[in-house]
Amino acid sequence: MTILAIETSCDETSVAVIQNQKVLSNIVSSQISLHKKYGGVVPELAARAHSENIDYVLSLAIKEAKIKLEVIDYVAYTSTPGLISCLHVGKVVAQTIVSYLKKPLVPCNHLFGHIYASLIENQWQFPVLGLLVSGGHTQLLYLPTEHLQFQILGQTLDDAVGECFDKVARMLGLSYPGGPEIDQLAKKGQDTYSLPLPKNDQTLDFSFSGLKSAAAKVIAQEGKKLNIANFSCSLEKTIVKILIIKLELAIKQYHPKTVVLAGGVSANSGLRNNFFALKEKYPKINFIAPSLEYCTDNAAMIGMLASYQIKEKKED
Ligand code: KG4
Ligand code: ZN
């Protein structure tokens, strides 16, 4: 089964070819340089860039996969959530290809795609618990016995983790996206600033807007005295700590066999280290996270999710 997958939900234009659940190509054209000067994604510019780049990204994905368009059995695309004008570009391209090939269209959920990215290089055993951390979402997800049967156990009540990284980075004068910059600075610093652990309670929900305000206060108070590397280290440590606390709460309540870390923030080195360190504490659980190329937005994860959607439909 060969799937052509298209991802255009935010600021990455990506096309992948997946054959029998193996990634043959996964081309990602990032628009970061376009949005950098505005300090965040400008939807109108993002949609225009998707329309300008998609045919090149598409032809590169087909070329790298060494396939002919005619062998494609399904065309998958990200249908939700995302910036509507950006999603629209991917949808129209996918619809055009299927009307030419006369093959089925497979709409996919971007967030579920992030979780399914972990199946590109690993296998699951149910129950599966997922911690999804991205620029727009922070969720604990649970799949008790079968594919695609997602339950949301908890989520952020306000800002997402990636949003917190990006907004605090902006206050520090770092460039967009701030998460990777803070990750690099944190490695050079020490945890010397005291920041509150947000929503440190027995629920599985998160909250990051208070941490953002607390960070703004310290930044204003310290002014030029602020040691940015140390501050980045303290911010990252606080975020990682609360994510791991909530993940462990869910592990104790739901007893998963597999725990997945996914979404753009799963590229964070401090988070990955602390996540994989849980293996020692819970030796019976398989802790998996996609490799870095599949953490941030990409079409391979959409293709992988689509492959399971198609399989489940056939078995109905
Ligand atoms: O999943 P993603 O690529 O796009 C969304 O679906 O939102 O996630 C993007 C987010 C951004 O907020 C970015 O700052 C964050 O992921 N991010 C990181 C790192 N790499 C990307 N955050 C912390 N550390 C990183 N290394
Ligand atoms: Zn994403």
Give residue-wise pLDDT tens across range 231-240.
999 999 999 9
Q: Which ligand is nearest to the CA of 11?
A: 1
Q: What is the mean pLDDT of residues 283-301?
A: 98
pLDDT at 226 over 90: yes
Instruction: Specify the pLDDT at position 188.
Output: 98
Binding site membership of 162 for ligand 1 (Cβ less than 6 Å): yes
Instruction: Specify the pLDDT at position 36.
Output: 87
Instruction: Specify the pLDDT at position 254.
Output: 98
pLDDT at 37 over 90: no
Atom of ligand 1 nearest to the CA of 162: 12
Atom of ligand 1 nearest to the CA of 269: 26
Centre of ligand 2 to C-alpha 84, Å, is: 14
pLDDT at 315 over 90: no
pLDDT at 252 over 90: yes
Quick one: 55 exposed, middle or buried, by C-beta within 10 A (0-12, 13-18, 19+)?
exposed
Instruction: Specify the pLDDT at position 263.
Output: 98
pLDDT at 258 over 80: yes
Most confident of 9-13, 40-44, 72-76, 174-178: 72-76
Instruction: Specify the pLDDT at position 238.
Output: 98
- Nearest residue CA, atom 7 of ligand 1? 135
- Nearest residue CA, atom 16 of ligand 1? 264
Binding site membership of 302 for ligand 1 (Cβ less than 6 Å): no
Binding site membership of 165 for ligand 1 (Cβ less than 6 Å): yes
Mean pLDDT for all residues in the chain: 97
pLDDT at 313 over 90: no
